Structure 1
């Protein structure tokens, strides 16, 4: 083997490490430059560079991301979380539910959209219960990571390693990784991790006001009316028992019963069917009433609650508006603007009387539930100005939920039984959801992470170069010389430690690309079963807790939680050590 090729591969690896650590350029472009250099100097052939793009696991990863985005689009997880997470509970109970459900879901669904959906719930719950989100958000991320390590499809890292197993040539008879090869380490660590976070996260995490509170919190309070339906579970309960006093983030200002208004409301006040409750609250809290299951309805919304899709928007009445001095009922938002009035804000002024009888003034801010035709019919309208779109509200249809969830779970189940490949199962599900119009086929490709596909494909090419030039052999022999005198267990510990540190500071995908060929070569040189050497790299890269940049979900909660790097290290370092010990001991016991 040419000495120049060996030196060049080492230089390329150093370049990747420095570029990713210093954030000199994006990960995809870093790998692109590295692989192109190897191609220019003949270390890799064009077919070897492009081979990764034909890897089945890359397609599986992208299809799982598409299905995850489809689940997000139909809002079914959001509705499900509304049901399973109690509005009022203690911090420990809320934390336990979050970790159990997110950990369980993450074993079979992409954990990034799960964390994205849960973050607003955590933030809202924390505000209602006077708990810092910094006490909850990091455990949320860690639970998603722990759950993702339980199965092959729980995290893209596992699928990347499987792609490398399929492409490797050192062990020609080595089978691809199976769905539950990860279970024997992942599930025990899910339980251990849950217990660690449950008992120690509150002590180790700071009590911080998140940055988002400093820049986005508005003091704009809206007036909104809600009617207690006859079958509501609130009927017969006191204000205290119902939790309506404050737990929804809304302040109960008045109760109207039989045209009489109760303005001073005792906590023992008993609610009755037909009561109209007047709340003061912010836009997000009011939107939550639309999907609330407590038996409250917004009387002004009417049939618009039946819409499959609507937007909640804020508008302000202009000074030359024709709506000024008209009552809400006279304006007829439904017929005139394909919208319904949810709530009204009048610059701190107390508004009294029924919402439909309020006369609009210039400067009033209205919260509207707008249908599909709102944009068209309001074009050129000078009666109001659009301030912002607060939220998109979707009402998922039952057949869409069953097609998407049932199809995805069936594909995973059939793959686990080795009846059909996961690749084919997911393709069928994607075809079905497009044919049945479960999601908009034009919108679906927008959620594809092309950078991820490029990084994975080019990292496979880098692994080929390391094996082809003997660099993987050299590094493997060096690691063996250090750790082998202490036994096979020490070799696994060494590989885990190197992978974990690299993953923490240059991303887990890059760590896998560099360490996987080294680990497999070490197994070959030692004459050992390659499976634990593949799995140890996967666990070390995926179970990444010690920095925010090591895993996507950590990065997502980094800013909103007001965390520092030290916070991740303080909570994540002990968990990383525990994970390493458990992983190595179990893999050694089962396979070596």
Structure 2
């Protein structure tokens, strides 16, 4: 047993170091960790594989697939239409409550994706005043029910595997409602600190664009200063790419050569200014240079090209459009456009050909395209059937008449049979990475408990926290989970925190439930960074936010959310 603990300690330390210290995909890291555990004899093959068929995990996958139909219903359209009326505070209140309600029953990334287009096209209120509240209330809404967020279902799976009774559908609701109401009030009070890009005309949107110096250009052989490239309005020459060499911190005396790629940061409206320079090609394709207008798109979280560069995916061939600029919030990107790895939420400015608009994959790859409605809408009758079917499945599950997993499976098969959900849609939305992370994490959590490693960790923490009692340990677990979810992902945070939380509760001889709830609510407390939660990342570039916007609103929200949750959990779930 001691040898097993030493081996597992090494595996878990390597996992934690890689999660925090590298940009490797968390799914690969978790699968590698459980794979090494199998190869070293810590877990049998059957025991490892059965974790990927955990009922809570299967329920989560089915919910994500069923949400494909729900986001097509008129319910989302009606929600979007309510944003056009009323003051900013009223709009945020209506948006927040509606988004929270939808997020409590369906996938919150789907809810946010469905509303981004409508909010960006709003003529009533600035999108930058609405998009971050949209993300935050979607996160808060996910805490209301067992199925509201993936972490709730994952924690339930951990709890059942640890020998606890399954969590009820509404076990989270009392604490979640308190957190939602206090959180929404906080957001309303902090609205004035969010940027208003609808009225701040001086705000320069920091797109990242490039121009190539063509053969015979008059720019060749002259310095940056001599060519007038130094004092451009709303544009800054950030880098020069010369073959494989990157020239950063470009000086006025830097000479321009044929084939140089000049990288600018600044306002996309200044593109026509660059085209006035002889031989500076902003779009490197004659056919696309004749495009009458530029199109802005936002990369979807379901895009198959996330993590790949524009060059690798041959963007121009795939989409019949040239990428002339990229924006990722206010982050300074490096290297040529072709070498930028796409992330969910990236804004791209395209020069499209006429064929671009006929492509079938647009709504899979992009969550927003200026001037286009990407949503496939059901008729009122179809929408009613989908919503009634979903409500019936949830109701039967709540009253233990039909298990939720069975009801969702039947509903999904019916929706596919009726053509409401296409098989291709299921393929591209299937959450393979989530399945890999959670299935592996359940196995690792079980190993930590079975080998006694979790107990050893709790003993060490007991020495530090014993004087503070169970409530002090409960706070420590919550804070640890919040830090993890901001730095890595919410699902990984729950996976790392659960075994320690469970073992600590056992060590104190108290009911583990409040500790488990601390993990669940802590894993949903991602408000301070655009990178900690998928919905935060989706609105990052769409709202033209800076990191400081998340910090300014997110830190007070996180503190107030934490105080609320830490107060309510012990009241609802006594030690």
The TM-score, its normalising length taken from structure 1, stands at 0.67
Whole-angstrom CA distance in 1 between matches of 2:44 and 2:396: 37
**Alpha-carbon deviations, 1:357-394, whole Å to 9, x = none?**
xxxxxxxx99999899xxxxxxxxxxxxxx99944564
1:144 Cα deviation after fit: 0.3
Q: 1:499 corresponds to which residue? A: 481
Closer/same/farther in 2, CA of residues 435 and 487 from structure 1, 3 Å limit:
same
Whole-angstrom CA distance in 2 between matches of 1:112 and 1:211: 25
Q: 2:492 corresponds to which residue? A: 510
Superposition pairs of residues 248-259 of structure 1, within 5 angstroms: none
Closer/same/farther in 2, CA of residues 367 and 45 from structure 1, 3 Å limit:
closer
Q: 1:570 corresponds to which residue? A: 552
Deviates more, 1:188-197 or 1:206-215: 206-215
State the SS of the aligned residue for 2:543: coil
1:216 Cα deviation after fit: 7.3
Superposition pairs of residues 479-558 of structure 1, within 5 angstroms: 479-558=461-540
Question: Aligned pair count?
Answer: 431
Which of 155, 167, 177 aligns to 2:161? It is 167
State the SS of the aligned residue for 1:559: helix
Superposition pairs of residues 149-188 of structure 1, within 5 angstroms: 149-168=143-162, 172=163, 174-188=164-178
Closer/same/farther in 2, CA of residues 18 and 135 from structure 1, 3 Å limit:
farther
Whole-angstrom CA distance in 1 between matches of 2:559 and 2:545: 21
1:193 Cα deviation after fit: 0.4
Residue 466 in structure 1 maps to residue 448 in structure 2? yes
1:210 Cα deviation after fit: 5.3
Closer/same/farther in 2, CA of residues 155 and 17 from structure 1, 3 Å limit:
same
Whole-angstrom CA distance in 1 between matches of 2:552 and 2:408: 39
Closer/same/farther in 2, CA of residues 447 and 366 from structure 1, 3 Å limit:
closer
| 8 Å CA contact 2:477, 2:501 repeated in 1 | yes
**Alpha-carbon deviations, 1:294-316, whole Å to 9, x = none?**
xxxxxxxxxxxxxxxxxxx999x
| 8 Å CA contact 2:99, 2:141 repeated in 1 | yes
Closer/same/farther in 2, CA of residues 444 and 400 from structure 1, 3 Å limit:
farther
Whole-angstrom CA distance in 1 between matches of 2:183 and 2:195: 15
**Alpha-carbon deviations, 1:540-590, whole Å to 9, x = none?**
001221222221111111222233333323322222222222222222223
| 8 Å CA contact 2:205, 2:267 repeated in 1 | no
Whole-angstrom CA distance in 2 between matches of 1:163 and 1:20: 22
Q: 1:46 corresponds to which residue? A: 45
Closer/same/farther in 2, CA of residues 460 and 395 from structure 1, 3 Å limit:
closer
**Alpha-carbon deviations, 1:328-373, whole Å to 9, x = none?**
xxxxxxxxxxxxxxxxxxxxxxxxxxxxxxxxxxxxx99999899x
1:452 Cα deviation after fit: 0.6
Q: 1:196 corresponds to which residue? A: 186
Q: 2:119 corresponds to which residue? A: 122
Closer/same/farther in 2, CA of residues 96 and 393 from structure 1, 3 Å limit:
closer
Residue 70 in structure 1 maps to residue 64 in structure 2? no
Closer/same/farther in 2, CA of residues 206 and 369 from structure 1, 3 Å limit:
closer
Whole-angstrom CA distance in 2 between matches of 1:219 and 1:80: 38
1:500 Cα deviation after fit: 0.8
1:532 Cα deviation after fit: 1.1
Larger Rg: 1
Q: 2:78 corresponds to which residue? A: 80
Unmatched segments (≥5 aa) in structure 2: 198-202, 209-265, 273-292, 297-318, 322-352, 361-368
Superposition pairs of residues 51-450 of structure 1, within 5 angstroms: 51-72=50-71, 74=72, 76-86=74-84, 88-125=85-122, 128-129=123-124, 131=126, 133-168=127-162, 172=163, 174-203=164-193, 390-392=372-374, 394-450=376-432
| 8 Å CA contact 1:70, 1:444 repeated in 2 | no
Whole-angstrom CA distance in 1 between matches of 2:450 and 2:504: 15
| 8 Å CA contact 2:8, 2:37 repeated in 1 | yes
State the SS of the aligned residue for 1:119: helix
| 8 Å CA contact 1:489, 1:585 repeated in 2 | no
Deviates more, 1:24-33 or 1:12-21: 12-21
Closer/same/farther in 2, CA of residues 532 and 212 from structure 1, 3 Å limit:
farther
Q: 1:6 corresponds to which residue? A: 5
Closer/same/farther in 2, CA of residues 582 and 434 from structure 1, 3 Å limit:
same
| 8 Å CA contact 1:209, 1:562 repeated in 2 | no
| 8 Å CA contact 1:495, 1:536 repeated in 2 | yes
Closer/same/farther in 2, CA of residues 581 and 78 from structure 1, 3 Å limit:
closer
Whole-angstrom CA distance in 1 between matches of 2:473 and 2:86: 46
Q: 1:24 corresponds to which residue? A: 23
Closer/same/farther in 2, CA of residues 210 and 66 from structure 1, 3 Å limit:
farther
Unmatched segments (≥5 aa) in structure 1: 221-280, 285-312, 316-364, 373-386
1:7 Cα deviation after fit: 2.8
Whole-angstrom CA distance in 2 between matches of 1:59 and 1:433: 18
State the SS of the aligned residue for 2:537: helix
| 8 Å CA contact 2:79, 2:98 repeated in 1 | no
**Alpha-carbon deviations, 1:92-116, whole Å to 9, x = none?**
2322221121112111111101111
Whole-angstrom CA distance in 1 between matches of 2:148 and 2:377: 27
| 8 Å CA contact 2:68, 2:421 repeated in 1 | no
Whole-angstrom CA distance in 1 between matches of 2:295 and 2:55: 45
Which of 421, 429, 433 aligns to 1:451? It is 433
Closer/same/farther in 2, CA of residues 371 and 24 from structure 1, 3 Å limit:
closer
| 8 Å CA contact 1:102, 1:147 repeated in 2 | yes
Q: 1:384 corresponds to which residue? A: none
| 8 Å CA contact 2:108, 2:139 repeated in 1 | yes
| 8 Å CA contact 2:5, 2:451 repeated in 1 | yes
- The alignment's C-alpha RMSD in Å is 3.2
Closer/same/farther in 2, CA of residues 212 and 148 from structure 1, 3 Å limit:
farther
